[in-house]
Structure 1
Amino acid sequence: MSFKKVSSKDFDSLRSKGLFDTDSARNQSIQPNKEMKANLRYLRLYLNILFLPAFEFIKWYLFKGFLLKGIDGFVFAVQQSYSKFLIQAKSFEYFYAEPIDVNRFSKADTSIKSSHLSIYMIVKNEEQTIETALSTTLWADEVVVVDSGSSDSTVDKAKELGATVLFNAWQGFPHQKQYALEQCHNDWVYSMDADEWITLDLQSEIIKTMQQDQYTSLRCLRNDLFMGKPLSGLCKLPHNNRLFIRNSGKYDLTELSHENPKVHGRERKTSAFFYHTGYNQITKLVDKLSLYANLKAKERHLANKKYSKLKIIIKFPVMLLKNLIINRYIVMGMRGFVFSAIYAYYAFQKEYMLFENYFTNRD
């Protein structure tokens, strides 16, 4: 049997007639390779996030002898392990995080008006988020924005959207919130942050609560956006008391970290939620939780709370398991694991920072 040699001219002729589709063949061969590489990359990141931090802890705590330094050595080893975890988690975020598409999410209907509601918020340099936040408040009779010295376009944007903008020098979260509350004129008030927005379901629940005389407040859910996506509906979301009758609520000015009002009277709960974008990126989430942990530790130290070495040791693994299993963040896969680990480290931070405060300020 003999084979005729195909010239380049004959080859081009066959391809021009559609009898030999090289582009399709090339795409079909490349596509599986791309998918395989993507799957391998995901697997590598997955394994790195799960195991590299543990190896880092073992390296410092056991092999480098920090076990001999007591609780200080344990804390240092955990910090090194967490740093390794964040490097891997940010790599995962780089490849798999999605941009926030505001139009995908439910927002309050501005055509529905409420004449008995004041919405208030405290701000500083929130130009990137305040427009979206305020666009879900236009249905309220009054919107009060208290600025503590923005150097960007936050104030201008708030005024353009019809908010009453006031200045008050920063004195801490509770003081600033209390000042904003006192500037409201309506009987019902809603506390909001510039990185949140009210959903249509929550708007309906707010109006429904205001129409019922037996309640003085409404406790709703907070759904955090993380890596561009909201937490799964299967997760256990935190409750926040945001709507209340103005004269029934007040902030505790002795606290440093808490900015939730103390409200008296009968409380109503709802499964409706607001979206929160402040924790969307890993860096922002870590920075904010570090700030809150520091404030909480100082607050507990001033209240003469005692530190516990046992809590420092067990806090991280216990809270990690709680977040994954009880709060059900495990249903979100690796995104849920990263979110759980960051919050578990926040719980650990509060304990060891209380320990640090004790020895730094004991005189």
Structure 2
Amino acid sequence: MSRFHRPISAFIICKDEVAVLGECIESLDFCREIVIVDSGSTDGTLALIEAYAAQGYPIRLISNAWPGFARQKQFALEQCREPWCLSMDSDERLDPAAKAYLSAMPLDDAKLSSYAILRRDYLPGYGYQPAIVHAKAFLRLVRKGTARFDESALIHESLIGQGPVHTLPKGAILHFRNMSMKEDTAKTSAYADLKAREQFARGRRTTPLKLFFKPIGWFLKSYVGHRNFLCGVPGFIYAMMFAQYAFLVEAKLYRLSLGDKAPPE
């Protein structure tokens, strides 16, 4: 079977992702089009993209100033030309089973328009989460014109489709997150800041009970409910990072609710 044969436009947004983007591109060599929207890379990402294009990868590189996660992904989605659109992050890649299934699955049933794909995270010191660990499915493959991103979301943006969503029966997206603890905690704090501002703008406020119990609940959900305890110490750290994120969102919501109040004398 020839490469680049499927009527699918994969789309990716990126900035300074030279360390991970190559494997993402290589996992998409069944797509007829790969749309990459860059927002000002300076680390060699653009040269990497040009190198893959020179090898024959059907890449369309588009520059667009950063408007936020959801708006940038919506912009990328709107650039797609094929009947089907596949959303990927630059630090993700399709595993062999997902790639094989997407390379051969029927795409001509007009009643089908939305497919979710399981995603497994990389745990430093362990590897990718095994199949026995709970993995969430995200809507990623949609028929063109049937879905869009919620542009009011500042973080954790997701596609909103039409009709029933079918989950790919085989394979998963592999999310590579081999960052140092310093990088991981900084990213967690930055994402929590965006989430808190988004929720504050929508009228949500925190309470002392939420500040105390929500991090505990998120830890137990990840570590026990999702079975990350099976991944040893890396699984424990992963669950604790979820708890940290939950705490920071609530703490930042509290700080936002204080506004510009003067300190007590």
- TM superposition score normalised by structure 2: 0.89
Matching of residues 100-111 of structure 1 within 5 Å: 111=2
Cα gap change, 1:209/1:352 in structure 2, threshold over 3 Å: closer, same or farther?
A: farther
Give distance in 2, aligned partners of 1:279 and 1:352: 27
- 1:247 and 2:138 aligned: no
* Among 68, 79, 96, the residue aligned to 1:172: 68
**Following the alignment from structure 1 to structure 2, what is the Cα–Cα distance between the partners of residues 216 and 244?**
5
Alignment deviations for residues 68-125 of structure 1 (CA, whole Å, 9 cap, x no partner): xxxxxxxxxxxxxxxxxxxxxxxxxxxxxxxxxxxxxxxxxx9554331000100101
> Is 1:181 paired with 2:181?
no
Following superposition of structure 1 onto structure 2, how do residues 268-287 of structure 1 map, counting pairs within 5 Å?
Answer: 268-271=166-169, 272-278=171-177, 280-287=179-186
SS across alignment from 2:8: strand
Check conservation: 2:92, 2:176, Cα contact below 8 A.
yes
> 2:81, 2:176 → 1: CA distance?
28
Given that residues 188 and 245 in structure 1 are in contact (C-alpha distance below 8 angstroms), is that contact kept between their aligned partners in structure 2? yes
What is the identity percentage for the equivalent residue pairs of Structure 1 and Structure 2?
27
Partner of 1:14: none
CA distance in 2, matches of 1:124, 1:116: 26
Residues 177-220 of structure 1 deviation map (CA, whole Å, 9 limit, x = unaligned): 01111111011000111111112211233342524433211111
Structure with a larger share of its residues in helix: 1
CA RMSD, Structure 1 to Structure 2 (Å): 2.0
Paired with 1:199 and 1:322, the residues of 2 have a C-alpha distance of: 26
Which structure ranks higher in relative contact order (CA pairs < 8 Å, sequence separation ≥ 6)?
Answer: 2
**Structure 1 position 302 matched with structure 2 position 201:** yes
- The structure with the larger Rg is 1
C-alpha distance in structure 1 between counterparts of 2:146 and 2:254, whole Å = 36
Matched residues, number: 254
The structure-2 alpha-carbon separation of the partners of 1:319 and 1:211, relative to structure 1 and needing over 3 Å to count, comes to: same
TM-score by length of 1: 0.66
Kindly indicate which of the two structures has a greater share of residues assigned to strand: 2
1:26 is aligned to: none
What's the CA shift for 1:266? 2.1
Query: Equivalent residues in 2 for 1:133-282 (5 A)?
Result: 133-162=24-53, 163-206=59-102, 207-208=104-105, 210-227=107-124, 229-271=127-169, 272-278=171-177, 280-282=179-181
1:137-162 alpha-carbon deviations (Å, 9 max, x no partner): 12210001100001121112112212
Given residue 223 of structure 1, which amino acid in structure 2 is its aligned partner?
A: R
Deviations 1:219-273 (A, max 9, x none): 1111111115111221111211111112011112122113211111221113521
- The reply to whether residue 291 of structure 1 matches residue 187 of structure 2 is no
Distance 1:279 1:130 in 2: 14
Match for 1:236: what amino acid? H
Residue type of the alignment partner of 1:195? D
Which amino acid counterpart does residue 263 of structure 1 have in structure 2? G
Long gaps (5+) in structure 1: 1-109
